[in-house]
């Protein structure tokens, strides 16, 4: 017989494609986890509460139990639009948003920047968790993903940040342009490194370098796996060139344990920057715990 799971509070990471939950004890330990593919991107506003109740059905959760949520659940297309806090600011704000539900759901606000215009939602919780685990840390935090963030942190505040749609560009170019005929499924480390190296000094040549992938495949037999890696190297290299004012001469931490984060670490290493790789789940949970403490103190 399974033990009954009765959390003290619940932590939620509710993104575009997935929903993850942690049942938390009073001392901050994890009692159980649950997840589903009921991300924000597939739900109408009326579908959020049923999706959450289904996920938590095996836990004892009453209407008073705090449920602290981060991510796209707080976007304009989400369950409730949580306000943005303007930089410079702490990673976490006390201005939680509460959706129309009998459950005690508290959604963490995002962060905005007026000039140049930029926003983040969900990453602020990971940044808060990283800072909670690394007190007095100053530098730049890179959060690779479909939309990669470069975030300057100083004195426990987010000073500024920059977003690059590199992941979206890779998906669009590899799947919907002439390069779709050239891109394989495997990988070539040397091809990635060559792409980064060739674009860092001349990022304005990106469009021409992209077509060269196709031409070299037709004329010189460039392999599809090397082509895939070079495309990634060109795009990440161009992003690094644009983000150079962030990482040059700074401590750098890369949040994420997967292959994509490793590509960023390798690309930075080629520029003589040694980056600290950070476990994303660990800092996400630490950030949600910090938000829960903020909520209790309000």
Q: Distances in Å between the alpha carbon of 268 and those of 100, 143, 252, 265?
A: 45, 13, 9, 5
pLDDT tens for 63-116 read 999 999 999 999 999 999 999 999 999 999 889 999 999 999 999 999 999 999
The whole-number pLDDT of residue 1 equals 45
Measured CA to CA, the distance from residue 6 to residue 224 in angstroms comes to 52
pLDDT tens for 4-27 read 999 999 999 999 999 999 999 999
Q: Is the pLDDT of residue 127 over 60?
A: yes
Per-position DSSP letters for 253-269, written without gaps between them: EEE--SHHHHHHHHHHH
This model's pTM is above 0.75: yes
The whole-number pLDDT of residue 143 equals 98
Q: Beginning with the edge strand found earlier in the chain, give each strand of the sheet holding 252-255 in spatial order.
A: 157-164, 148-154, 139-143, 252-255, 276-278
pLDDT tens for 141-190 read 999 999 999 999 999 999 999 999 999 999 999 999 999 999 999 999 99
Of 114, 171, 123, 167, nearest to 149 by C-alpha is: 123
Half-sphere exposure of 264 (CA within 13 A, CB side): 28
Average pLDDT, the chain: 96
Measured CA to CA, the distance from residue 270 to residue 208 in angstroms comes to 23
The whole-number pLDDT of residue 44 equals 94
Of 99, 119, 97, 118, nearest to 108 by C-alpha is: 97
- Assign 298 a pLDDT band (cuts: 50, 70, 90): confident
């Amino acid at each position: 017989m399974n033990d009954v799971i009765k959390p003290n509070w619940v932590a939620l990471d509710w993104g575009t494609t997935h929903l993850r939950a942690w049942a938390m004890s009073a001392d901050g330990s994890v009692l159980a986890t649950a997840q589903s593919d009921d991300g924000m991107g597939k739900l109408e506003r009326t579908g959020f509460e049923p999706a959450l109740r289904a996920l938590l059905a095996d836990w004892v959760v009453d209407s008073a139990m705090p449920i602290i949520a981060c991510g796209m659940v707080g976007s304009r297309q989400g369950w409730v639009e949580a306000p943005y806090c303007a930089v410079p600011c702490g990673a976490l704000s006390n201005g939680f948003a509460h959706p129309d539900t009998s459950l005690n759901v508290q959604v963490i606000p995002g962060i905005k920047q007026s000039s140049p215009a930029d926003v983040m939602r969900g990453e602020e919780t990971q940044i808060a968790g990283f800072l909670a685990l690394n007190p007095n840390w100053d530098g730049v935090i890179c959060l690779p993903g479909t939309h990669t963030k470069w975030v300057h942190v100083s004195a426990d505040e987010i000073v500024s940040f920059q977003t690059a749609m590199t992941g979206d560009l890779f998906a669009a170019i590899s799947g919907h342009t002439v390069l779709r005929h050239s891109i394989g499924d495997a990988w070539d480390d040397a091809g990635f490194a060559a792409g980064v190296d060739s674009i860092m000094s001349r990022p304005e040549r990106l469009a021409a370098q992209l077509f060269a992938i196709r031409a070299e495949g037709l004329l010189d037999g460039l392999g599809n796996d090397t082509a895939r890696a070079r495309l990634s190297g060109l795009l990440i290299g161009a992003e690094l060139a644009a983000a150079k004012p962030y990482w040059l001469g700074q401590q750098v931490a890369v949040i994420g344990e997967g292959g994509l984060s490793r590509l960023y670490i390798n690309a930075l290493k080629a520029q003589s920057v040694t980056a600290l790789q950070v476990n994303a789940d660990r800092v996400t949970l630490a950030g949600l715990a910090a938000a829960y403490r903020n909520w209790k103190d309000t």
